[in-house]
Amino acid sequence: MIVFDLKCQDDHEFEAWFRDNATYEKQRKKGQVPCPICGDTKVVKAPMAPNIATGKSDAASGAAQDAFKAAATMHMLRKLRGEVEKNSDYVGPQFAEEARKIHYGETEKRSIHGEATKPEEKALEEEGVPFQTIPWIPRTDS
- The whole-number pLDDT of residue 128 equals 96
CB 115 within 8 A of CB 95: yes
- Is residue 32 in some structural domain? yes
- The whole-number pLDDT of residue 140 equals 65
Residues 80 and 105 in one domain: no
How do residues 44-88 score in pLDDT, each as one tens digit? 988 766 656 665 555 656 777 777 788 788 888 888 888 999 999
- DSSP assignment of 84-134 equals HHHHSEEEETTHHHHHHHHHTTSS----EEE---HHHHHHHHHHT------
Mean pLDDT rounded to a whole number for the chain? 85
Q: Is 110 exposed, middle or buried (0-12, 13-18, 19+ CB in 10 A)?
A: exposed
Residues 93 and 72 in one domain: no
SS3 54: coil
Q: How many domains in the chain?
A: 2
Residues 8 and 39 in one domain: yes
Residues 76 and 114 in one domain: no
- Is residue 108 in some structural domain? yes
The model's confidence at residue 1, banded by pLDDT at 50, 70 and 90, is: confident
| Full domain range(s) for residue 71 | 2-47+58-84
